[in-house]
Amino acid sequence: MSEDGLYPLLKEFEGRPAATGGVGKDRVDAAMIRHWCEAMGDAHPAYTGPDAIAPPTMLQAWTMGGLSGHTDRSSAYDELLTLLDRAGCTSVVATDCEQEYLRPLRPGDTVAFDAVIESVSPRKTTKLGTGHFVTTRMDIRVAGELAGTHRFRILKYAPAAPTPQPRRQQQQQQQQPSRPRPVVNRDNQGFWDGVAHHRLLIQRCGACGTLRFPWLPGCNHCASPDWDTVEASGAGTVFSYVVMHHPPFPAFDPPYAVALVELAEGVRMISNITGVPYDKVRIGMPVQLEFLRVDDDLELPVFRGSAA
Ligand code: ZN
């Protein structure tokens, strides 16, 4: 089928149900909340005690069918995926989810839910391949009242064929494999901007002042999304370390030491130790920040040790 013929068929699925009449297999309960909070390291007092509410991000957990699944799944979602399979979009990747919270869930609540195929995107080409984003929206209710919505998006795609590399690049890679690149995104862009100016920047919560590293969109201590940065002095000590022998990675020359460095400001970061042989790195060793030019495109903060 031509792509032009496919998209109108895909669009017809918009608004069709993906699940109807779903009911949570268990009531919202304190044991599940406790396990979740322990797994997440979330000690917020709202989630314990006689007036406890469930963490809002558990919204979807109460709808999950487990290994045995739900019997109320609609056929439309399966039909849509089959249509995409037949059009060559045989691979799938979950891309993101969005949740909206309207009312807290409390132990004893029974959730009911329906899901709808909200949208199917036009054909998109990504690094993974070409295909269509499919968004489902689940509405979760308690006693008929909307408690929250959960949007879930997948990309159903035809995998891209590996692109042949120019010969020069191939030769270069064979001669000198390059170190992996950091994944720079909107949450850590500021950190890498700092590195480019030879500054090691630590995030500081705008509400409670807690320092954090690595960079995160919010504060683990008070959940505030506000932050600024402080520049690390560069002094630190080796808090812990491992010596890598195996497996070997291209561009790395084992054995070498990978250290967890505790900065003078109190946060810790993983980095390499320079200036000291791998077998002379010790816990407690004082280290000093420096910037290592790895290649034309990559500079990294590392720490120079001083062997006793
Ligand atoms: Zn905070």
pLDDT level of residue 1 (50, 70, 90 thresholds): low
pLDDT level of residue 19 (50, 70, 90 thresholds): confident
Residues 128 and 222 in one domain: no
User: What is residue 169's predicted lDDT score, i.e. its pLDDT?
Assistant: 54
Between 199 and 249, the higher pLDDT residue:
199
| Ligand 1: centre distance to CA 208 (Å) | 4
Considering the domain boundaries, does residue 168 fall inside one? no
pLDDT level of residue 168 (50, 70, 90 thresholds): low
Considering the domain boundaries, does residue 113 fall inside one? yes
Residues 214 and 306 in one domain: no
Between 213 and 19, the higher pLDDT residue:
213
Residues 223 and 255 in one domain: no
Considering the domain boundaries, does residue 101 fall inside one? yes
Average pLDDT over residues 175-192: 88
Residue type at 58 in one-letter notation: M
Considering the domain boundaries, does residue 164 fall inside one? no
User: What is residue 212's predicted lDDT score, i.e. its pLDDT?
Assistant: 95
Q: What are phi and psi of 117, to 5 degrees?
A: -75, 105
Contacts for 290-294: CB closer than 8 Å, 24+ residues apart: 290/234, 291/195, 291/198, 294/178, 294/179
User: What is residue 69's predicted lDDT score, i.e. its pLDDT?
Assistant: 79
Q: Please write the tens of the pLDDT for every residue from 91-114.
A: 999 999 999 999 999 999 999 999
Residues 142 and 208 in one domain: no
User: What is residue 3's predicted lDDT score, i.e. its pLDDT?
Assistant: 65
CATH number reported for the structural domain that contains residue 144 in this entry: 3.10.129.10
Considering the domain boundaries, does residue 41 fall inside one? yes
Considering the domain boundaries, does residue 105 fall inside one? yes
Considering the domain boundaries, does residue 216 fall inside one? yes
pLDDT level of residue 7 (50, 70, 90 thresholds): very high
Nearest partner of 27 among 144, 140, 108, 143, judged by Cα: 108
Residues 56 and 78 in one domain: yes
Of 23-37, 189-203, 242-256, the poorest mean pLDDT is in 242-256
Cβ < 5 A residues, ion ligand 1: 205, 207-208, 210, 219, 221-222, 224
Report the number of distinct structural domains present in the chain: 3
| Ligand 1: centre distance to CA 214 (Å) | 15
Residue 173 has pLDDT above 60, yes or no: no
| Ligand 1: centre distance to CA 52 (Å) | 22
Considering the domain boundaries, does residue 275 fall inside one? yes
| Ligand 1: centre distance to CA 107 (Å) | 28
Average pLDDT over residues 21-46: 93
Average pLDDT over residues 5-34: 94
Cβ neighbour number for residue 88 with a 10 Å cutoff: 16
Residues 246 and 142 in one domain: no
Residues 46 and 138 in one domain: yes
CATH number reported for the structural domain that contains residue 238 in this entry: 2.40.50.840
Which residues form the domain of 254?
A: 232-308
| Ligand 1: centre distance to CA 211 (Å) | 8
Strand partners, 237: 262, 286
pLDDT level of residue 304 (50, 70, 90 thresholds): very high
